[in-house]
Structure 1
Amino acid sequence: MSFIAALHSTRPPFLVLAPVCVYLGLQIASPKELEWTLLCMIMVAAIAAHISVNTFNEYFDFRTGLDALTQKTPFSGGSGALPNNHAAAPLTLAIAILSMVIVSFIGLWLAWQVNGWLLPLGVVGVILIATYTQWINKHPWLCLIAPGVGFGVCVVMGSAMAFGASWELRNSLLLVVPFSLVNNLLLLNQYPDVTADHQVGRKTFPIVYGFTLSHWVYGLQALMASGAIIIAVALEWIPQSSMVSLLPVLLSGYALLGAIRYGASIGLHPQYLAANVAATLLVPLMLGWTL
C-alpha cells in the first residue's frame, strides 16, 4: 500500500507535460537525424525532474499540514495520497531525491558529451526542483515565473540545444509560448488553495496581489504566448501553418472567464481548470507539429 501511495504522489496524469516540452524542443532544433538514445535520455531526465518536483511538493505539503487544509480538486490541492497513508511519506521523499539525482547525472553527462551550455540550464533546473515548495512559494514573483522557467526554458531550450539548436532570437521567441502557458497553468491552480496556502505561510501571487491582478497577469501571459506565435509567423521564422496552434489559446480565454467569475471557488467548476491544462499542452504540441 505504501508503494502505491508513493507512486500516486508522483501524480502520473500530469507527467505528460514533460514529454510535450521535450517534443517542442526537438521540433525547434529539427535535427537532420534523430538519435533515439539521446532522445530517451532527455525524456527520462525531463520526466524525472517533473516527478521530483511533484513528490517533493507532496512530501512537504504533508509534513506542514497543508494537505489537511486544502480542498482537493482534479487539478489542485495535491494527490491526497500521503494523508491516507502516512507510512508512504519516507518512500515519497526517497523518490523525490532519487529523481533529482537521476536528473543531475543525465544533465552532467549531456553537458560533458553533447553541449557544455546545458550545464547552466541544468543547474537552474535542479535549484528550482530543490527550492520550489519550501522557498520559492514564499516569493510571489518567483513563484509566478518558476514553472515557466523550469519547463519553458530548462526543458524546452535544453532539449533543443541537446539536439543541436543554437540560442538565437527565433528560438528565444518561441520559448515565450511554453514559458507563459506553464506559468498560467500553476497560477490558476493556486486559486482554490489561497486560504490553505496562506495558513502555512505561502505567499503565492494570488495571495499577495489578489485575484484581480492575477486575472490580468493570466490574460497578459496568454496574449504573450499568442503574440510570440504571430510575430514568428510574420517574420517568416516559422511556417504560416503554425497559426493553427493559436486555436487552443481560446481555452485559456475560457479558463480566464471562469477565474473572473468564481475566483477561489473555481475548483468547484473543474471544467475551467481542465481548459487551462488543455491549453498548456495543446498549444506547444501543435506548434511543434507545424515546425
Structure 2
Amino acid sequence: MQTPLQPGSSPIARDHGFQKWWQLARPHTLTAAFAPVLLGTALAIEITSIDIFLFLATLLACLIIQAATNMFNEYYDFKRGLDTEESIGIGGAIVRNGIKPATVLGLALGLYGIAILIGIYICMNTTWWLAAIGLVGMLIGYLYTGGPLPIAYTPFGEIFAGFFMGLLIILISFYIQTGSVTTTSILVSIPSFILVGGILLSNNIRDFDGDKEFGRKTLAILVGKKNAVRVLAGMFIVSYAWIFALILTGVSTPWLAVVVLSIPKALTAVKVFKTGKNPLEMMPAMKATAQTNTFFALLLSVGLFISYI
C-alpha cells in the first residue's frame, strides 16, 4: 500500500502509451533483483568459469519475478481499496492509467509462467532441487500482498524480502555457477539480506500514516516512526561493519572496502526520513535506501572483480 498525498498536494501525472505499461513493472525496483544476481555470480568467479547463458537466464528470471510481484502488489492493493489516483510510489496502472485489474493480474500470472519456463532451463543444466526453491520464492512473492493474510500486513515483511530477494538470490546465483554453497558466499550475502529488508522498512516508514489507518501491523508501526528510522540507520551501520569484519578476519579481500562509496546514499536516506513530514517529502529517502542496496551490491561485485585480476 502507498500513502495518499496530503491535502493540497499536486496531482500525479498519468502515463501514456508504452510508459504506462513500463511503469506497471515499477522499474525502479528491478535493481533489487539485478544486483544480487551479479554479486552471487561475482563470488563464483574465484571458484569456476562462468556460464554466461545460465547467468543471463538467472538474471532474467529474477527480474521477471520481481516485476510480477510488483503487479500482484498493484492488483491486491487496488482490490483492498488501499491505492487511489493520488497515491505516492505506486505504478498507478489501475487507478491512474486505466488498465483493467484483470489485465494486471493476468500479466503477473503470465510473467510467472515465463519465469517457470526459464527455471526449467536452469534446472536442466543444474539440479531440479532449484525448482522447489524457485516455486517457494514465487509463492512468497504472491503472498506478499495476496492471500488471506498478506505478509505486507505483518511485521515480517522485511525478513521475508531480505531473505528471498537478498540472501537467497545471491546464493542461488552462486550455486547455479558452482554447484555448491560456501561459508564465504553466505557471509558476504548477509548485508544484502539486511539492506533489502531496509528497502521494505523505508517503504513502511513513508507509508506509516496510511498503513496505520488501514490497520496494517508493519514493523514501522509496531516500533513507531522515529524508532523505525533508528532501526533503518542501525541496519546500514551493521551492513557496513559486517563487510569490514569480513576483511579484518581475512574472510574476504580488502577490495570489498570499496562499499564505503555507497555511504552517502545511506546518510541521505536517514537524514531525509528524519526531516520529512509527509510521504512526498520522504520519497527521496526511500529512493536513497534502494540506491544504497544497489550500489552496495554492485560495489562488492566490483571489489571482487578487482581482486581476481
TM score, norm. by length of structure 1: 0.88
* CA drift at 1:148: 0.9
Q: How does 1:226-265 map to 2 (within 5 A)?
A: 226-262=240-276, 265=278
- For 1:197, the equivalent position in structure 2 comes to 211
Q: What's the CA shift string for 1:56-95, capped at 9, x where partnerless?
A: 00111122221118641xxx3x122211244432221111
Cα distance in 1, alignment partners of residues 270 and 50 from structure 2: 39
Cα distance in 1, alignment partners of residues 259 and 18 from structure 2: 39
Cα distance in 2, alignment partners of residues 223 and 145 from structure 1: 17
Cα distance in 1, alignment partners of residues 239 and 107 from structure 2: 33
Structure 1 14/137 Cα, relative in aligned 2: closer, same or farther at 3 Å? closer
Structure 1 209/104 Cα, relative in aligned 2: closer, same or farther at 3 Å? farther
**Is the contact made by 1:62 and 1:82 (CA closer than 8 Å) also made in structure 2?**
yes
**Is the contact made by 2:33 and 2:59 (CA closer than 8 Å) also made in structure 1?**
yes
User: Are positions 1:118 and 2:130 aligned together?
Assistant: yes
- For 1:271, the equivalent position in structure 2 comes to 284
**Is the contact made by 2:202 and 2:285 (CA closer than 8 Å) also made in structure 1?**
no
1:29 aligns with one of 7, 23, 44: 44
* CA drift at 1:205: 1.4
* CA drift at 1:165: 5.7
* CA drift at 1:255: 1.2
**Is the contact made by 1:26 and 1:163 (CA closer than 8 Å) also made in structure 2?**
yes
AA aligned to 2:286 is L
**Is the contact made by 1:194 and 1:207 (CA closer than 8 Å) also made in structure 2?**
yes
* CA drift at 1:157: 1.2
1:10 aligns with one of 13, 25, 44: 25
**Is the contact made by 2:205 and 2:228 (CA closer than 8 Å) also made in structure 1?**
no
Cα distance in 2, alignment partners of residues 4 and 283 from structure 1: 29
- For 1:52, the equivalent position in structure 2 comes to 68
AA aligned to 2:80 is T
* CA drift at 1:278: 1.8
Higher helix share: 1
Structure 1 216/69 Cα, relative in aligned 2: closer, same or farther at 3 Å? farther
* CA drift at 1:161: 0.8
Equivalent position SS for 1:66: coil
Cα distance in 2, alignment partners of residues 171 and 180 from structure 1: 15
- For 2:35, the equivalent position in structure 1 comes to 20
Cα distance in 2, alignment partners of residues 165 and 25 from structure 1: 12
Structure 1 2/128 Cα, relative in aligned 2: closer, same or farther at 3 Å? farther
**Is the contact made by 1:3 and 1:88 (CA closer than 8 Å) also made in structure 2?**
no
* CA drift at 1:239: 1.5
Cα distance in 2, alignment partners of residues 14 and 81 from structure 1: 16
Cα distance in 2, alignment partners of residues 226 and 239 from structure 1: 14
* CA drift at 1:19: 1.7
Cα distance in 2, alignment partners of residues 116 and 231 from structure 1: 35
* CA drift at 1:261: 3.0
AA aligned to 1:68 is T
**Cα RMSD (Å):** 2.3
TM score, norm. by length of structure 2: 0.83
- Fraction of identical pairs, as percent: 24
AA aligned to 2:137 is G
Structure 1 120/170 Cα, relative in aligned 2: closer, same or farther at 3 Å? farther
Q: Which runs of 5+ in 1 are unaligned?
A: none
**Is the contact made by 1:6 and 1:88 (CA closer than 8 Å) also made in structure 2?**
no
Equivalent position SS for 1:247: helix
**Is the contact made by 1:25 and 1:155 (CA closer than 8 Å) also made in structure 2?**
yes
Q: How does 1:80-91 map to 2 (within 5 A)?
A: 80-91=92-103
Q: How does 1:68-147 map to 2 (within 5 A)?
A: 68=84, 71-72=87-88, 76=89, 78-134=90-146, 135-140=150-155, 142-147=156-161
AA aligned to 2:249 is L
**Is the contact made by 1:251 and 1:275 (CA closer than 8 Å) also made in structure 2?**
yes
Q: How does 1:175-214 map to 2 (within 5 A)?
A: 175-214=189-228
Cα distance in 1, alignment partners of residues 274 and 179 from structure 2: 40
**Is the contact made by 1:6 and 1:89 (CA closer than 8 Å) also made in structure 2?**
no
Q: What's the CA shift string for 1:93-145, capped at 9, x where partnerless?
A: 111111222223433443453034534532331121110013101211x2121
AA aligned to 1:268 is E
